[in-house]
Amino acid sequence: QMPGGIPVGTLAIGKPGAINAALFAAAILGVKHREYREAVRKYRAAAAKKILDQPDPRTSR
């Protein structure tokens, strides 16, 4: 199962799957609609920043 925020063609059940399904659908709609494309881009940038702002568990002992 992929974590929320990493959309794939085969989607899981539950909240992570619902998030991925919504992102996948928005990415498809974004091909023709700039507002969806920008919303997905902003969501992905914020999700990446959230992950990168966390300390690396391998080095924070």
> How confident is the model at residue 44, as a pLDDT?
95
| 7 or 47, higher pLDDT | 47
Whole-angstrom distance, CA of residue 26 vs CA of residue 21: 9
The single-letter code of the amino acid at 22 is: A
Q: Give the other-Cβ count within 10 Å of 7's Cβ.
A: 20
The tens digit of pLDDT for each residue in 11-60 reads 789 999 999 899 999 999 999 999 999 999 999 999 999 999 998 888 86
> How confident is the model at residue 61, as a pLDDT?
63
* Closest C-alpha among 35, 34, 6 to residue 22: 6
CA angle 2, 27, 54 (to 5 degrees): 45
| 29 or 10, higher pLDDT | 29
Q: Is the predicted pLDDT of residue 9 greater than 80, yes or no? A: no
